[in-house]
Structure 1
Amino acid sequence: MTRIETRQSLIKVGTDVIGSPGFNPTGLNTVLKTAGVPKGSFYYYFASKEDFGLAIIDEFAIAYNEKIDSFLSDTKVSPLQRIRNYLQNGLETISEGQCKRGCLIGTLGQELSSQNETFRVRLDQVFEGWKQQFGLCIQAAIDCGELSEDTDIEQLSEFLLSGWQGAILRAKMHSSISPLQAFIDTTFDRVLITR
């Protein structure tokens, strides 16, 4: 493998491996062994474990931004249906994983935000980007008359992002999708009420 391919392999393996135990408990040896990379060569690819963690966050964010965009920008369905489709897909994905894994960014945020300012800032930037994507979809719902013109886009976007992340955490704790379903049902029965 080339240097770039090996680096990408380490990032992919790191993303997979740290999803369950977290960043701090994951040893570099585990990542290197799983990726088939010699033990002593990690620092050829990354300056530090922190640099490795930031690369994982960035790669995951790029891929996940595309996923969110594919749902929230889907003009074949109404804006509110786009949000529902995104949330329903998330519920199905977490269910397929037996509620053992949640959102990597959320997991890392809970673990690292109070320990490392660099991680906190980067993770918050990712969340803010997702919140903006919700905001654009909410604006589209206002523009097409699904939601009232006086809808507070900022507040509703924050509610969707924070509420969904909380539901993911609760689903992991309960080993059940019921918190996710409750969030979806309440959001569409009580919050995103069409005009």
Structure 2
Amino acid sequence: MEKRDTKAEIITAGTAMISLQGYNATGIDAVLKQVGVPKGSFYHYFGSKEEFGLAIIDRFAERYDQRLHTFLQDEEVTPLNRIRNYLESGLARLEQNQCSKGCLIGNLGQELADQNERFRARLDAIFGNWKERFAACLREAQNAGELTRDVDAETVAGFILSGWEGAILRAKVMKSPQPLRDFISILFSCVLCKGKESRD
């Protein structure tokens, strides 16, 4: 018989509940009830709710980083098409859940950045890592001739990250994926278009 991974089950249940209702509204008792374990089990694995929240963030970030790696380092397609494929995949996922979940890291950033410095610093580091993945892909696009050299890869990477997270927020509020569609359309027609190389 396979041994039960109670800690992983608690994190999985907590992730699902926090994704839907937020960190502050998610009680430890409700998470444990869903998993079917006593409260003592929780404190065996986590010293506090804060540590539990950080574990959820770390687990989500690890898995999401694998997702970014899959898309943004896919050598079967050109660098700009990697970014497009990633965004189109995100659009499809949001449509599947009726624009109800959004991005866990973005949601927690809005909820907790002003309340808890440990959460704020961890979330900021994750966003920084995501931004660098976009920047690396944009630099590859420049090397491949898909994007002009006068584009600042770091700045545009930050724009993609901020614009996408904002579009996800608006999609949740509107209960419509249209903000994501609009962002993708404008990004590729106005920002990531090849244009003309600047001349000195």
TM-score by length of 2: 0.95
Q: Which residue of 1 aligns with 2:198?
A: none
Counterpart of 1:134?
A: 134
Name the counterpart of 1:93: 93
Cross-structure match for 1:60: 60
Match of 1:78 in 2: 78
Letter in 2 for 1:30: A
| Amino acid paired to 2:121 | V
Corresponding residue number in structure 2 for 1:145: 145
Q: Which has the larger radius of gyration?
A: 2
Shift of 1:41: 2.5
**Aligned-partner Cα distance in 2 for 1:134–1:162:** 12
Count of residue correspondences: 194
Supply the distance in 2 between the matched residues of 1:84 and 1:165 (Cα, whole angstroms): 15
1:90-109 residue CA offsets vs partner (Å, 9 max, x unmatched)? 00000000001100000000
Name the Cα RMSD after superposition: 1.1
In the other structure, the counterpart of 1:178 is: 178
Unaligned ranges ≥5, structure 2? 196-200
1:40 is aligned to: 40
Structure 1 consecutive aligned stretches of length 4 or more whose deviation exceeds 4 Å: none
Report SS of the residue matched to 1:37: coil
Deviation (angstroms), 1:2: 5.5
CA shift for structure 1 position 40 = 3.1
Letter of the 2:151 counterpart:
T
Amino acid at match of 2:177: I
1:96-135 alignment, distance < 5 Å: 96-135=96-135
* C-alpha distance in 2 between matches for 1:36 and 1:67: 30
Find the counterpart in structure 1 of residue 156 from structure 2. 156
Deviations 1:32-52 (A, max 9, x none): 011111123311110000000
Q: Name stretches of at least 5 consecutive residues in structure 1 with no aligned partner.
A: none
d(CA) in 2 for partners of 1:49, 1:167: 30
Q: Secondary structure at the match of 2:21?
A: coil
Matched, 1:20 2:20: yes
Using the alignment, how far apart are the partners of 2:27 and 2:88 within structure 1? 34
1:83, CA displacement in angstroms? 0.3
Q: For residue 102 of structure 2, give the secondary structure of its aligned residue in structure 1.
A: coil
Tell me the secondary structure at the aligned position of residue 136 of structure 2.
helix
Counterpart CA distance in 2 for 1:57 and 1:2 is 25
